[in-house]
Amino acid sequence: MTPNLHLCLIPLLPLIGAAINGLLGRRFSRQQVSAIALGFCGAAFVMALWVAARFSSLTVPYIEHVAPWIRAGDFRADFAFYLDQLSLVMLLVVTGVGFLIHVYSVGYMWKDSGFYRFFSYLNLFMFFMLTLVLAGNYLVMFIGWEGVGLASYLLIGFWFTKDSAASAGKKAFIVNRIGDFGFLIGLFLMIKHFGSLNFTQLFQTVSGMGVEKDEAGLLTAIGVLLMVGAAGKSAQIPLYVWLPDAMEGPTPVSALIHAATMVTAGVYMVARSHVIFERAPLALMVVAIIGTLTALFAATIGLVQTDIKKVLAYSTVSQLGYMFMACGVAAFSAGIFHLMTHAFFKGLLFLAAGSVIHSLGGEQDMRLMGGLRTKIPWTFWTMTAATFAIAGFPPFAGFFSKDEILWRASRVSLVYWGIGLFTAFLTSFYMFRLWFLTFFGEYRGPEGAGLGHGAGQHHDAAHSDVPGDGGIHESPRVMLIPLAILAVLSVIGGWVGVPGSLGGSNHFGKFLSPVFHSTIPAAVSEGMPPEERTEGPEPTAGARQELLYTTVSVGAAFLGLFLAWLLYWRRPELPQRIADSLGGLYHTVLHKYYVDELYGMLVVKPVVDGSTRILWQGIDQNVIDATVNDSADSARHLSDAVRHMQSGNIRSYAGWVALGAALVIAYMVWMGVQ
Amino acid sequence: MVPISYYLVLSGILFGCGVVGFLIKRNIISIFMSIELMLNGVNLSFVAFAAQWHALSGQVFVFLVMVVAAAEAAVGLAIIIAVYRNRETLNVDQVNLLKL
């Protein structure tokens, strides 16, 4: 008998906080609102820690049935929660990083009039995200999946009076919906063929099936459909377009939802479904290819962005691509490892960027920054840690996770490795570009630092009044403490997964290996390295080779640093010259490869035109409205004609009665004659 | 013996006269008389059938109708007098206070 952990409390606690703040928050002071929000979110975190502490004494997976939900025939879907190593890692990341971002938001949003609304949404998001992570079947996961989409919509469009924010929220919601459609069809397929959505039951059934190596079959179809869902939620090609626009939301939202937690839901889902993917090499290949392409594609766009948050947004898309690449080469634990370290350093990058924006009173254009190193030292140092982590410098967190992905990818195909390596170089380059542009050189902004010059055009318009006449200022302590904690995590977070080739033993991979334990006995012969490979003592030759690969990728990171230093510190006039000489190519990248325009032309415009001309003017106005109007008109005309009968004149009524009686009699006589 | 059809035709004519009178007359008293005419047309057919079938129920029915008609006449004439006192007219088209 395993102890009852009351797992359902973990998601419910933030929900209570969301309800209290959402319903009553208007009357509360800011202190009360933040106490409630932080209290319930923190309680969830404490409970997650408590669960983690008791984890070793549990029989894994630990399943908790809360209540029956759908029971139709043989099909059953209950409110059930599922805890294993994978969900535990996600649980800690979500509650931990989420709590830190809650703390940060107190400082960041202090002056916003929607303070209580913001925290209510944040807590609501936590509820859905934790539901997603702890779900015991795909249907409960789907609740969380849709719910985080809703919370994301609400938070992106938080400043809904701004048109761009409102439409960014809509865009995110609609693009996500396309992905959800694929996910949902995948679920239907599972119900139809396996009759269950419970993880335990489903994976047991699938475990009995063979690998679809020769021809694509059911599992491949399910896998690809799940990937469509994951691509929507995790912003992969071709559905990544919503994430950069989502930067319209407040910066803590970008950190929490669009970097650390929600966008990783797709990775989590793919990793959770690894039993299916392992048996569908084609689906796995789709995942790997999409991940690799996205990583490269987004990184190139990130090179030329000038908005500090947009750089980070494309960087997020690119890093998510890495995670999918890892999943695609069946290195699920490496993907989750990167997910975790990415949550630390990307959350930190966004929060630090928010701190920069805060200090400049809403300025987001990096061309108008510079020289902030001495003015906001705390932000600078924490951001430095994050930058080195994402660029993959040892011994920062990003190094270990990225390196493991690249190593595992190289075992499957050198193409993945090559593109991944190049992307690592690009990542290093654009991150240090951001770093140099923001913190080094001369301050290029207008005098008086971000004093409301055209506040409306700023992203975080709410902050245009913050600096007042105080000039550039460091953020309050409530914002700096989360930065510092995340900075520490960005530095040491990777040490849990030091690979064997560097003298470590990859504790992280070992911890997760029971989850990703390959269920295919002959996996090695399929050319897919099973997870156990990271566990056992590596053969020396392999270790040496891995060390070589590691050296190369660190080299790439240094090359990126050097180039960024050269272009944005030594010779700041060079980038413009290079951009001019590249001409069209530069403009293509600057305009994000015109993908938005392409989608606008191929998808949005036909849909809008079709809706306008056919559905609105054609069907709605000419058929539906016309039917209603015409029937109303004909009723009016008919009653206009017959209303004269109702004269109120008794004798005319009597006449009608007599006429009617005469008709009845005539009819009966006629019938009698017949 | 006079065939029943004669009675019925006469009854129909009386009833028809009553209906037409009811419809075209404007004087309340004329209308009242038309109603009596209709009642008596019907009475005629009742008694005709009663004679034809040697059944008393038709005749009983006629007595009932006559009693009701007498009562009606009493009430009706009282109403007419009341109307005339109030409106100083017997034209039904002008007695239309309840009409919109």
3-state secondary structure A560-600: HHHHHHHHHHHCCCHHHHHHHHHCHHHHHHHCHHHHHHHHH
Measured distance CA(A172)–CA(A247) in Å, rounded = 11
Closest by CA position to A399, among listed A498, A481, A311: A498
H helices of A472-539, in order, are 477-492, 507-516
* B96 contacts on A by Cβ (under 8 Å): 648
Measured distance CA(A362)–CA(A391) in Å, rounded = 26
Measured distance CA(A302)–CA(A590) in Å, rounded = 9
How many residues would you count in chain A? Answer: 674
Q: Which residue has the higher pLDDT, A588 or A447?
A: A588
* ipTM of the complex as predicted: 0.81
The B residues from 30 to 59 touching A (CB cutoff 8 Å) are 31
Measured distance CA(A454)–CA(A443) in Å, rounded = 19
User: pTM, whole model, 2 decimals?
Assistant: 0.78
Q: Which amino acid is it at A54?
A: R
Hey, where are the domains in chain B? 4-87
Is A648's CB within 8 Å of B99's CB?
A: yes
pLDDT at A634: 94
Is B23's CB within 8 Å of A658's CB?
A: yes
Q: Quick one: what percent of chain A has pLDDT higher than 90? A: 41
The B residues from 53 to 92 touching A (CB cutoff 8 Å) are 92
Chain A closest-CA separation from residue B13 CA (Å): 14
Closest by CA position to A17, among listed A36, A44, A35: A36
Question: b/e per residue, A24-34, with b = 16+ CB within 10 A?
Answer: ebeebebeebb
* A648 contacts on B by Cβ (under 8 Å): 96, 99-100
> Contact at 8 Å (CB) between A237 and A231?
yes
Lowest mean pLDDT among A242-251, A442-451, A494-503, A582-591: A442-451
Binned at pLDDT 50, 70 and 90, residue A26 comes out as confident
> Contact at 8 Å (CB) between A450 and A360?
yes
Q: Which residue has the higher pLDDT, A538 or A180?
A: A180
Beta strands in A182-312 (DSSP E): none
Q: Which residue has the higher pLDDT, A632 or A214?
A: A632
Which candidate from B22, B23, B100 shows the least CB-CB separation from A648?
B100
Q: Does domain B4-87 have CATH number 1.10.4100.10?
A: no
Of the residues B23, B27, B35, the best mutation for testing chain A's interface (the one with the most A CB atoms within 10 Å of its CB) is B23
* Averaged pLDDT of chain A: 85
Q: What is the rounded average pLDDT of the residues B67-79?
A: 94
Is B22's CB within 8 Å of A654's CB?
A: yes
Q: Is the peptide bond before A244 cis (omega within 30 degrees of 0)?
A: no
| Residue A483 structure tokens | 């930065």
B100 to chain A, any CB pair closer than 8 A? The answer is yes
pLDDT at A574 over 80: no
Is B22's CB within 8 Å of A648's CB?
A: no
CB pairs under 8 A between A and B: 16
